[in-house]
Amino acid sequence: MLDALKTAEKIKNGETFIGIEFGSTRIKAVLTDEKCTPLASGSFTWENELVDGIWTYSLDSIIKGLQVCFSSLKSNVREEYNMPLVTAGAIGISAMMHGYMAFDKNDELLVPFRTWRNTITAKASEKLSGEFGFNIPERWSIAHLYQEILNDEYYVKQIRHLNTLAGYIHFILTGERVLGIGDASGMFPVDSEKLCYNEVMLDKFEEIIHYHYYKWKIRDILPRILLAGDEAGVLTKEGALILDPTGEFMPGVRFCPPEGDAGTGMVATNSVKPLTGNVSAGTSVFAMAVLDKAMKGWYPEIDVVATPAGKDVAMVHCNNCCSDIDAWAEIFSQFSAASGNKLPMSKVYDVLYDEAAKGKKNCGGVTAFNYVSGESITKLNNGAPMIVRRNNSEFSLADFFRANLYSALATLRIGMNILYTSENLSLSKLAVHGGFVKSSVGQSVMADAMNTPVTVYSTAGEGGPWGMAILASYTRHKNEMSLEDYLDNCIFSSAKSEITNPDKDGVTGFNEYLESYEKLLEAERKATEILYKKVKK
């Protein structure tokens, strides 16, 4: 009771920090104390929509999700501590990284928000990468902007501001058009030494588009870059009512720079030092490796982004991870219901993962493709989930579901192989978090697939919103220590963790599976061409 009373007093006095993250399937808020111990949480479940060929979330759903999630957090505080949540020490907003939000002079959205999932900017990505000598992925904001210029879209001349989802939410709450350097590095390349957008590439972009005679300059429409620990504005009166329409939560709370979920994942896994890495495996999967020196070359499969403190990070991003696993789990749930013995969804997952652990290490000749959407690394514009096997393959549930788990990581490994071989990268630590590694089976498969020991912290379940709350708390300590030291000394010094080492047979089996996977990619590519072929009128 005493601890609860002390915690309630801290909440009352605003000695707490709030992280809110807009994930692909869930918006989650976390309230922590000054040691970043989680005290309460709230959430809202949502799904992206495919509208006119664009993966998007409407502005209405974004605002509704924010409000319901925050209301859920307030309710949890009231239930646990019998008091209202009316203030905090600092707040941080994070969201799915990159994508495209373009606004006019009245701050009206000109075209629907485009998420990271869209693979419609291949021409722009290829041309900009060649001009810059630097990989510009299809999902980056600058790739979307340039594709619209190439498409000669009329609205482009009306653009006055670009932003990411995290930056947009931050703007409507604080009135500040700023972005943490990690998220900004996915809008336009940044200079990790000068800690700003790359000046040479900004000039190059202006040269490329000069004949369009737009009134805007690229420097003027990008958000201003801030670093971890910088103050990034305060909650305005208008913003407070957007966040909490009841009017209980008070304006004036300061904000840290908004970040992308890649940045919060690095923070939540203590992976911001050079030669540390992390993997976030949920709806999408991406690996982040903090570099100790510049890469020797550039590769279409590797993004170079930044930690929230501005250090270069090699990133392998894949659009598809657990979505098709979830779809199959739903099928087996429906089967259990049809059999008259409906299992809870959690039990369905337990059974399927346990069966996968019994499967042959190479999946017995079964190959799965989990491409719900397109995938840039393997050069697919559309997705077509598919199972392939020889007619003499032993088709068991164990091999089938193990193949689905392997499929979730196969494209990631294709990208990581470039860092392992071409850049001779050797990581001192690979921390993992996300739904894929909630079970020991997922952790074992991850270790085998990456051929690297993986670390799962006891806090891994807290994820990105917890990482964002840590960044909010760091605003009080930036003048005392670096972000790396803050994480080491104040957050993770006593954190419990579990290390899973790769199994020799498992590594061999995954490599055999991957060899088959890469050979069969042509069949997957052909399937998407047939399924999405436009009918000529």
What percent of the chain has pLDDT above 90? 83
Cα–Cα distance for residue pair 442/413, rounded to 1 Å: 15
Q: What is the pLDDT of residues 215-260, one digit of tens each?
A: 999 999 999 999 999 999 999 999 999 999 999 999 999 999 999 9
- Sheet containing 429-433, strands listed edge to edge, beginning at the edge strand earlier in sequence: 303-306, 312-318, 285-290, 276-281, 429-433, 454-457, 497-500
Q: What is the pLDDT of residue 536?
A: 42
What mean pLDDT is predicted for residues 415-427?
91
The answer to whether residues 223 and 177 touch, using CB atoms and an 8 Å cutoff, is yes
Q: At what angle do helices 397-421 and 345-358 cross, to 10 degrees?
A: 70
By mean pLDDT, which of 61-70, 93-102, 183-192, 421-430 is the weakest?
421-430
pLDDT of residue 283: 85
Q: Dihedral of the CA atoms 494, 498, 499, 504 (nearest 10)?
A: 170
CA angle, residues 243, 245, 251, in degrees to nearest 5 = 55
**Which DSSP string do the residues of 135-189 spell out, in sequence order?**
---TTSHHHHHHHHHHTT-GGGGG--EEE-HHHHHHHHHH---EEEHHHHTTTS-
pLDDT given at position 460: 66
Amino acid 535: pLDDT: 42
pTM: 0.85
**Cβ atoms 97, 153 nearer than 8 A:** no
Q: What's the whole-number mean pLDDT along residues 303-316?
A: 95
Asked if residue 188 lies in contact with residue 201, where contact means CB atoms within 8 angstroms, the answer is: yes
What domains are there in the chain, each with its CATH number? 2-260 (3.30.420.40), 323-414+514-530 (no CATH)
pLDDT digits (tens, 9 = 90+) for 362-418: 999 999 999 998 898 898 989 999 999 988 888 999 999 999 999 999 999 999 999
Residue 537's pLDDT band (cuts 50, 70, 90):
very low
Per-position DSSP letters for 82-151, written without gaps between them: SS-----SEEEEEES---BEEE-TT--BSS--B-TT----HHHHHHHHHHHTS---TTSHHHHHHHHHHT
In this predicted model, what pLDDT tens digit does every residue of 133-171 receive, in sequence order?
Answer: 999 999 899 999 999 999 999 999 999 999 999 999 999
Q: Identify the band that residue 2 occupies on the pLDDT scale cut at 50, 70 and 90.
A: very low
**How high is the pLDDT of residue 461?**
66
Chain segment 432-465, per-residue pLDDT in tens: 988 898 889 999 999 999 998 999 988 766 778 9
Q: Would you state the pLDDT for residue 516?
A: 96
